[in-house]
């Protein structure tokens, strides 16, 4: 295909039923929630075969991120064009009204536990909203072994082996693959490797109202993938990026993703030369300017800046808070 007109791309969220979900995403996102069921996840940018995000605006409206990666990969990915067959990140909002299952994800090198064509799963959360019963469980308590953890599933004392804390709005939590984790009573933004491989260790002995049955556990696989050195995981310490008139912090920087939080009431630059960047609106609203055209960025919006755009100006209307996500340089994964 010939090169398309490229511009800041907005995407439609894909809502997902989850038994632990609620209805709070209705306040965060413009797209109405499906009626009458708990919605736990909004997939904001997803290049998955079963759930591919569609462009919401402009001449490319209706095309999926999968289509863009297939036909316009160089324009979209820039210096990463030869690195990835699929867009390498999956971005979500989670409404965790109830606590999720106690779970773990495999690392990239644990190939025997990863479906063909998929990857391991390292992820991170940024807390958007908390409630009175909000709790994050991240990592094990020191001294936990495979034996006593497995025994606690039968005894229903799994929580005794999980490190936990009460989250605050703005907290960033890094969940490396192999880390046992769960959370409840909070709304979070999630950035992760483009993987849907999860092994449930424990699900609090509850029943899924849609099926009338407990959800399946994968105890053997979960125990095999746990990194027992991942203990007492707490919020990260943001790194302040000095920039005049701008409150900018780097929360995450690892082999899979980089994430900055920006708060500003004045114009600032977003994007990067020859790299794709994703913007997530957290508070307030404004617009991103490209070739003299303003593209609106609101609370809950996801905007992909194709690599060919380079840097663009962001014009807040009042105070705005957004997250900017980048892809680090790493080895080829094609």
Whole-angstrom Cα distance, residue 235 to residue 52?
31
Q: Where are the beta strands (DSSP E) in 194-228?
A: 199-202
User: Does the annotation mark 215 as catalytic?
Assistant: no
Other CB atoms within a 10 A radius of the CB of residue 3 amount to 10
Question: Which residues share a beta bridge with 249?
Answer: 240, 261
Task: Check if the beta carbon of residue 202 is closer than 8 Å to that of residue 99.
Answer: no
| Phi, psi of 111, deg, nearest 5 | -65, -25
Beta strands in 108-246 (DSSP E): 123-140, 162-165, 172-175, 181-193, 199-202, 239-241
Alpha helices in the chain (DSSP H): 25-28, 65-71, 73-77, 146-155, 219-225
The answer to whether 18 and 38 are in contact (CB under 8 A) is yes
Q: Residue 104: CA atoms inside 13 Å, Cβ hemisphere, count?
A: 24
Q: Give the number of other CB atoms < 10 A from CB of residue 233.
A: 21
Q: Are 23 and 91 in contact (CB under 8 A)?
A: no
Bridge partners (DSSP) listed for residue 268: 314
Of these residues, 18, 86, 135, 200, which one is catalytic? 200
Q: Which residues are part of the catalytic machinery?
A: 200
């Amino acid at each position: 295909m010939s090169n398309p007109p490229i511009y800041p791309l907005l995407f439609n969220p894909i809502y997902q039923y989850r038994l632990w979900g609620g209805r709070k995403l209705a306040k965060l996102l413009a797209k109405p929630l499906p009626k009458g069921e708990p919605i736990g996840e909004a997939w904001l940018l997803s290049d998955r075969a079963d759930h591919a995000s569609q462009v919401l605006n402009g001449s490319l409206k209706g095309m999926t991120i999968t289509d863009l990666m297939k036909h316009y990969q160089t324009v979209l990915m820039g210096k990463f064009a030869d690195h990835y067959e699929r867009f390498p990140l999956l971005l979500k909002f989670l409404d965790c009204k109830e606590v999720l299952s106690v779970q773990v994800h495999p690392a990239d090198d644990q190939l025997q536990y990863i479906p063909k064509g998929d990857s391991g799963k390292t992820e991170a959360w940024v807390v958007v909203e908390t409630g009175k019963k909000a709790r994050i469980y991240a990592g094990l308590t020191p001294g936990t072994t495979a034996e006593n953890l497995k025994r606690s599933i039968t005894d229903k004392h799994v929580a005794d082996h999980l490190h936990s804390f009460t989250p605050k709005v703005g907290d960033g939590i890094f969940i490396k693959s192999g880390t046992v984790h769960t959370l409840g009573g909070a709304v979070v933004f999630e950035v992760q490797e483009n993987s849907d491989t999860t092994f449930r260790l424990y699900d609090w002995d509850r029943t899924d109202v849609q099926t009338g049955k407990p959800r399946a556990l994968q105890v053997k696989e979960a125990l095999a993938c746990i990194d027992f050195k991942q203990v007492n995981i707490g919020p990260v310490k943001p790194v302040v990026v000095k920039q005049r008139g701008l409150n900018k912090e780097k929360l995450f920087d690892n082999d899979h993703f980089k994430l900055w939080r920006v708060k500003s009431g004045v114009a600032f630059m977003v994007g990067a030369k020859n790299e794709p960047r994703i913007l997530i609106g957290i508070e307030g609203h404004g617009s991103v300017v490209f070739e003299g055209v303003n593209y609106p960025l609101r609370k809950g919006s996801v905007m992909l800046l194709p690599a060919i755009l380079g840097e663009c100006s962001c014009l807040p209307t009042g105070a705005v808070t957004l997250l900017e996500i980048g892809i680090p340089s790493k080895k080829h994964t094609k």
